[in-house]
Structure 1
């Protein structure tokens, strides 16, 4: 069953340009659904609309099969976890966790039971009497999550809850939040600008840009088959390398000496290659050679940066590689790993590339 079903949502402030335009998606019960995009793309506005904190300018919002566009926040059976934790400094951890339950007229014994269950789940049992100022950032985030768990709302909305944490703690909290969501079977809608969070945590992701939906799908499907240039260069770390191509008859020239046959492609295109699909070609015929401009050895992997048609490209290889800046190295790309996008619209082009020199007949 669909926990959330939105159809052609629009949002504008004071009659100005649309902040959200024709946003349609659904979230299944028990699903972890991430909304990802750059700052200012409308992610938090969309979450506030689902929460009832913002009114729709157009479209419909269904929650558990019922039209909920005009319902008050307290009628929507949701909980929220914010970026800034939203804890009351004068209340203890326990009081923060159960805050709001008395408004729902939950008996005190049940409030205490829910508090203890949430604290046990989050490792907060020894901290229940402390005030927020006595907690670390990660502990405060757990308290905010504990309040959402104690509410037992079937839908939890999270607005960039880990962005204030350091990198190591953020990685740990990503795993904890995902495990808790699975254990409780909560429906979770998670807003983030960090595509790594979206890729590692979500069952499905929705990519937003400038208020419009760019793509919805499973993380690996979005990564492997981006529907447009924006998704291709936003999803992935490092992002996809892209370059304009030059048509040469039935072939596409990506750079001097590197051509691929594309007899079915009839328009100007931009080619893209993921960093991990650029391989060292010491033992095979290279697609092209490039001079190393910068190198970063990260221990488990190495990033090599070079120029392709004036643009910075990055190759990502496992292990530790020792090259010098300015050194010419041979690089190869499997034709199957080249993505093509329309130069006019940015949309993905379904294609069948052939290595230069092969005919369609030979491939069939």
Structure 2
């Protein structure tokens, strides 16, 4: 049961509606009127950005479900406010709510590029592609102010370090020349999330993310710049965007995407009640039906956390979705795999006075 919305706050383009406590909090609070409350004017809930100074920036993982073992997240939280975001529970580690706090209380890491250069410059460092945007979007609105990504890309280009990206933020087009520079060396690949072609549905699910037409333009401009671009149809939500699978793949292919991937809806920890609440607010007549179909892909539960199945789902429902996706990719001429990024040229950038290599 989620707590009620704060009546003193006016929400504009937010995914969540309230602030449920994180799973680690020992106490829960609820508003209760004692009859002495004064009628105050509502205030618009605005985004707050703080700065974080971590000691390291590269995060390691050993998950068998993802194709990378290291990643960078320049921000904590994400103003895009996607209601289904599997990263929402990470705000619980900060003592904040995975609900409204996740999309309104953002932490930026302005020293990310300096930390990155220090870490990849260690003699013990072994090169492998670094993934960006795996938890929260590095091109969310705060990036317009902090400009962390150009600094990161410049370090990686100077060191000839391969990189991959997942984003739905149009600010990536600001840095397209840097992505093109890395791609020309076989060291970059970008993934653009395109959940729906319906602007109304996209705005409801992803209230502060760019519209579908803008994301198709992102694919088009990245591809035109020579950056291998993947369309990510994720998450697949039965009834809502699942009927659009073929149309999304066709539109992305025409825009220049060469590879495609999908993930069925995941609802870990606090995301499940938040998504259920969102369904009741936006699609009350379909909510129960949608959740039954979600559960049919997750072994009868809202979420399946197990390695091997959490990214793919299980059961006839999801098998049919995977088959549709596979057949549409074949028909539209998508590549079946992605080329490996070049790790062979990794090394420190040349400095003034360094002797040039003979061969």
Fold agreement, TM-score > 0.5:
no
TM-score by length of 1: 0.24
- The TM-score normalised by the length of structure 2 is 0.24
Greater per-residue helix proportion? 2
Structure with max Cα Rg: 1
